[in-house]
A = this chain, B = another copy of it.
Amino acid sequence: MTLREIFAANLKAHRKAQGLSQEDLAHRADLDRTYISALERQLYSASLDVIEKLAAVLAVPPAALLRLPEETGPG
């Protein structure tokens, strides 16, 4: 399980939990739609700046996007 995979899964899960389409999320995070699609397919290694933007829109601590689902705790 690579960090890309974990991040991709968390991104998709939180996005759907918020009822957002890739396009919605992209627009709110000021990112490109196709890039969100690519992130969920693990084509890119997202940077801290992007992680920060996405976490803000998804209303979760940035660290939450790097954790496995079974793990708990803040951030």
Copies of this protein, total: 2
14-29 of chain A: CB within 8 A of chain B: none
- A72 pairs with B71, CB closer than 8 A: no
The complex places the Cα of A7 from the Cα of B55 at a distance, in Å, of: 15
Please report the C-alpha to C-alpha distance between residue A33 and residue B51 in the assembled complex, in whole angstroms. Answer: 24
State the Cβ distance, A47 to closest chain B Cβ, in Å.
Answer: 4
Chain A: interface residue total (CB-CB under 8 A): 24
Confirm or deny: A38 has a beta carbon within 8 angstroms of a beta carbon on chain B.
Answer: no
The CA-CA distance from A2 to B55 in the complex, in Å, is 12
A59 at the interface (CB under 8 A from B): no
Chain B residues with CB under 8 A of A71: 61, 63, 73-75
